[in-house]
Amino acid sequence: MTNIPWMMRSLADSRRVSIGVTAFVLGFGIAGWSAPRIQPVAPKTTRAPGPPADVERILWWFPEDTETIVVSRGPFAIPGPPTGATMPSLGAFLRMWSARPFSLRGGKYADHVIGRSIALSVEGNKHFRLPHGEGLGDYEGCEVVVIGKDFGDAADSFMVAVAADASGKTKVGDVDVLEFEEQTQIAGADQLKPGVKAEGRRFVVFIARPEPTVLLVATDRGVIEDVLTRMSRRGSKRALPDDLPEWKQIDTDATFWALRHYDAAAAKDDPTSPLGNGHLQVEADPKAKGLVFFFNEPDGKPTVRYLSSNANAEAIAAKNWSHPAPGHKENLEPSIEAIAPDVVEITVRSGKPEDTGIFILVWMCAIGHVLYGM
């Protein structure tokens, strides 16, 4: 899951604006800059606060201390590698992101599944950390992929191919869990920093198929064991319960959405949490609660809502999300405004490919993922 597949190749040019000691640097802003004012609107609610039934089922599987979920609603076809260096649209990137379980070994097994459909992808993560080397930061998490009816025997052939290269196999109940050695892959790394190899550190992922239409890929043995145990026997508490304030601010009917409720207990070592004492990646905010993201294609614009009781929440959001770069192709200047008590909305106005690249990097950090060493 720490593998960053084909999608990152086309991010190479856009990412240069943020490359330095880290792959991208948040927490900077332009003094005195303020976003254009927009008319405050009430947060959208389409149902009682909480996830739709199919996502709620999966939330009961995740560990209770899950901090972030990322949801992609299908059906959509598993994409193949891009044919050029054009920056993908945000929707295309999010579909690639959701299809990461099928990009193991740089896409070695992808021929089994390219073009088949994903019905639903739900990723649950926690305990975000700096990487031990170059690439995506460490975290504990599991992605649940619900495959479409058109998969047929492709799921079987994919699992057989992966099992042939597995370094080990264990059981949790009656379910086989494959241990699979993987290596960070950052396509285009040599373009960003001459001499840097695309391959980085090695790590292990854990793969299981507990139901015919459900695939699990996890970064941590304990997490996948917890997920499988909770699938067979419901826990006493659900991950990200309905009483969290974030549920009142999210459009769960959107094609793509994410929710993060900051974990104070894990913030000290998390470079992406505002609850720490201030990290290179984000502005410190001891009163931050969480954030949500939602986006629809083709006409929707990405929307983020930052929840904080801090009197300076708007300014903090601006520092984290505004990256004006006069004279450069890449630019991120979203509209930022408090739309309700303790709720700041960030909306992106531009659809330029270069701006999309910067938004993706900031978005990745916002949900807990940071790139280092590029």
Domains in the chain: how many in total?
2
Asked if residue 5 belongs to a domain, the reply is: no
Calculate mean pLDDT across residues 150-158. Answer: 93
Asked if residue 178 belongs to a domain, the reply is: yes
Instruction: Name the DSSP class of 323.
Output: B
Contact assessment for residue 340 and residue 42, using Cβ atoms and an 8 Å cutoff: yes
User: Looking at 196, 211, 232, which one is the last position of a domain?
Assistant: 232
Of the candidates 3, 167, 143, 120, the residue with the CA atom closest to the CA atom of residue 62? 143
> Is residue 20 scored above 70 in pLDDT?
no
Band of the pLDDT at 339, cuts 50, 70, 90? very high
Neighbours of 296 (CB within 10 A): 17
Same domain, 98 and 219: yes
Q: Cα 358–361–366 angle (5° rounding)?
A: 125
Of the candidates 241, 252, 203, 226, the residue with the CA atom closest to the CA atom of residue 46? 252
Same domain, 206 and 248: no
Amino acid at the residue 41: V
Most confident residue range from 103-117, 155-169, 356-370: 155-169
Task: Give residue 47's pLDDT.
Answer: 62
Give pLDDT tens digits for 174-189: 999 999 887 655 444 4
- The percentage of residues in the chain with a pLDDT greater than 90, rounded to a whole number, is 60
> Is residue 333 scored above 50 in pLDDT?
yes
Of the candidates 167, 369, 342, 173, the residue with the CA atom closest to the CA atom of residue 260? 369
Band of the pLDDT at 23, cuts 50, 70, 90? very low
Where is average pLDDT lowest: 2-6, 88-92, 106-110, 244-248? 2-6
Amino acid at the residue 296: N
Asked if residue 202 belongs to a domain, the reply is: yes
Question: How much is the CA Rg of the chain, to the nearest whole Å?
Answer: 20
Same domain, 227 and 260: no
> Is residue 312 scored above 60 in pLDDT?
yes
Same domain, 37 and 72: no
Structure tokens at 273: 């949490």
Does the predicted TM-score (pTM) go above 0.85? no
Task: Give residue 88's pLDDT.
Answer: 80
Same domain, 189 and 317: no
> Is residue 27 scored above 50 in pLDDT?
no
Give pLDDT tens digits for 33-54: 222 222 333 444 446 789 999 9
Q: Which residue has the higher pLDDT, 202 or 161?
A: 161
Where is average pLDDT lowest: 214-218, 294-298, 317-321, 348-352? 348-352
Asked if residue 327 belongs to a domain, the reply is: yes
Task: Give residue 327's pLDDT.
Answer: 57
CA atoms within 13 A on the CB side of 241: 7
User: Looking at 175, 198, 232, which one is the last position of a domain?
Assistant: 232
Same domain, 285 and 337: yes
Q: Average pLDDT, whole number, for the chain?
A: 81
Give pLDDT tens digits for 289-310: 999 999 998 777 899 999 999 9
Domain of 337, in residue numbers? 16-45+241-372
Asked if residue 6 belongs to a domain, the reply is: no
